[in-house]
Amino acid sequence: EAGGGSNTAGGEGVNSSDTFAFLLLLLLIALLSASTVLREAWGDVTRNHFKLLLHVTIIVTAVIPPELPMELSLAVTQGLGELARRYQVYCTEPFRIPLAGLVDTCCFDKTGTLTSDELRMHGVRLPSAGADEAAGAAPAGDGGLV
């Protein structure tokens, strides 16, 4: 869905813009609180400034929910399940799932298994070449290789 959320078959998904706005609001409140504490207590000569800065840092870092790493792990696990269920894609390294969204090019050799530890690119087949053939146009003499 273009609105930042995702609808799954199980119901309404997480809306990332709402989550971002909520975390931004928490951060704003924490920064306001930390600046108030710092401003009020900095002029007091009886206070240890190191401890004061430590307390201000604790206020700001307390905004991050302790459950966030667990929620991210659950999101990756749910993504693995959806890939397997919908597309029969199985991933042996789940920590790579968040990085998969950055992939824009995949290279395969003709047998499906890499036969050496290096891959040399000989050509690129553009997706539009297959669309021309499906539309009834004659295929290019080189099969659409660039």
SS (H, E, C) 44-73: CCCCCHHHHHHHHHHHHHCCCCCCHHHHHH
**104 among known catalytic residues:** no
Catalytic residue among 18, 44, 104, 109: 109
**Catalytic residue annotation:** 109
